Amino acid sequence: MGISMRVGYVQTSPVLGDVARNVDSALALASGEEADLLVFPELFNTGYLFLNKKDLSKVAEPIPEGPTTKKLMRFAAEHSVSVIAGIAEKEGSKFYNSAVVINSDGDYLGTYRKLHLFSTEKLVFEPGNLGLQVFDLGKIRVGVMICFDWIFPEAARVLSLKGAHLIAHSANLVLPYAQTAMLARSIENRVFTITANRIGSEERNGMRLSFTGMSQITSPSMKILKRA
């Protein structure tokens, strides 16, 4: 391609339900980075372990009208950086595990809704209905996946066939396999990947989840270019 870009991930540890704190702390971390593209984790603004839809409804937001997307748009414009970030989306009475895509001018480009829901996510979120999408960020075309999408090789292949040069992978990984699998997705499809995972743990109603961190950037030659 002959294109030079500075890309990165923002690895966060959100507090469940504290949207304002989570967004502000993530943007504070990101503000110290000089990059053309930054990828944030899945559900970076809300945390992960929702008990039911009523619980989720307290923090889910419309996109792009919601406060989190608006803050991301302002941040992108102020720092001249494209942003891809995982958000709990509300549309009418339905909820989606989504990622917003914003360019370096602060323009909202679109939303990807997670296709492959993991475990108890199925109790509160609807499966994505917008398909696998590739977004033009000027220098490159970026495909978007969210967390458990990684386990289905067809997802990365579709994004590659649609012209993605890079796959942005917002995640809340709890299993130890995805970081290695994303190396395979890179070489299989001749794409770079950015996995932005979270750290920390959440516990509710006897269920405890610990998140594996190790956010990373991989190359088409199956190399880890950067890992947290």
Active-site positions? 42, 114, 147
**How many other C-beta atoms lie within 10 A of the C-beta of residue 157?**
15
Q: Which residues contact 200 (CB under 8 A, 6 or more apart)?
A: 13, 14, 210, 211
Collapse the DSSP code of 180 into the 3-class scheme (helix H, G, I; strand E, B; otherwise coil) and give the result.
helix
Residue in 82, 68, 3 with CA at minimum distance from that of residue 38: 82
Identify the DSSP state of 116: S
**How many other C-beta atoms lie within 10 A of the C-beta of residue 141?**
16
Q: Which residues contact 51 (CB under 8 A, 6 or more apart)?
A: 204, 205
User: HSE on the CB side for 43, CA within 13 Å?
Assistant: 27
DSSP lists the bridge partners of residue 181 as none
H or E element: which one contains 178?
A: helix 178-189
**How many other C-beta atoms lie within 10 A of the C-beta of residue 131?**
10
Give the phi and the psi of residue 25 in degrees, each rounded to 5: -70, -35
